[in-house]
Amino acid sequence: MASDVLDVLDGLSGVDAAIAATRERLDDARAASWPSTLVVEVDAADPLGAAMRELAAAGYRLAVLVAPDVPDIPELVLAKPFSALGSASVALAPAHGGGLAALGVALPAPDWLLEAHVDLGTDDAVAVLQAAAPRRRDVRATLPWRRLRAPADIAALDPGLEGWDATRALLGR
């Protein structure tokens, strides 16, 4: 599924794809990526915070961290957090059923975001981050999307949508 997410990111103009992975998953991350893809090792205790710090250290000014289980996410849904970062320091693409499909951030990440200890799977991530932000305009919610977190979620995949070729092959669809 992660390789399908990388394919979507590859379609976005001006976007460099990167993969953040814990030490245990680095080989999987490298196998799913292209030779030019930045792969960063992150601490399992704070993967989002570590990814944001690594990307800032690499010179990036904006980052959108995307869940690996959104293989059919449209480019438009991923582009929205980037555009929202023009007027907010954090942009959220909520996931149906809770959590986040993507989290965009102007780097370096604001302290309040890092101190919130939210990850993409935090059920009430939108509410937690809106409450943690010093100003209402610091967080913008964008278009929601679904994540594939349970076997029943596979039924939500739309065969009519382009992309998600690796996931189709894996599922035999």
Q: Tell me the mean pLDDT per 10 residues along the chain, length 173.
A: 70 85 92 86 92 95 92 89 96 96 97 96 97 98 90 76 63 61
φ and ψ of 139, to 5 deg: -125, 130
| CATH number listed for the domain at residues 2-171 | 3.90.550.10
The residues pairing with 38 across neighbouring beta strands, listed in sequence order, are 18
* Distance between CA atoms of residues 11 and 52, nearest Å: 22
- Nearest C-alpha neighbor of 126 from the set 116, 111, 114: 116
Classify 46 as helix, strand or coil.
coil
- The predicted pLDDT at position 2 comes to 65
Residues 6 or more apart whose CB falls under 8 angstroms from that of 23 comprise: 41, 44
Contact 69, 149 (CB under 8 A): yes
pTM: 0.86
* Distance between CA atoms of residues 37 and 11, nearest Å: 14
Contact 98, 77 (CB under 8 A): no
- Nearest C-alpha neighbor of 72 from the set 146, 172, 164: 164
The sign one gets for the Cα dihedral 64, 70, 74, 80 is negative
Domain ranges of the chain: 2-171
- The predicted pLDDT at position 170 comes to 65
Classify 162 as helix, strand or coil.
coil
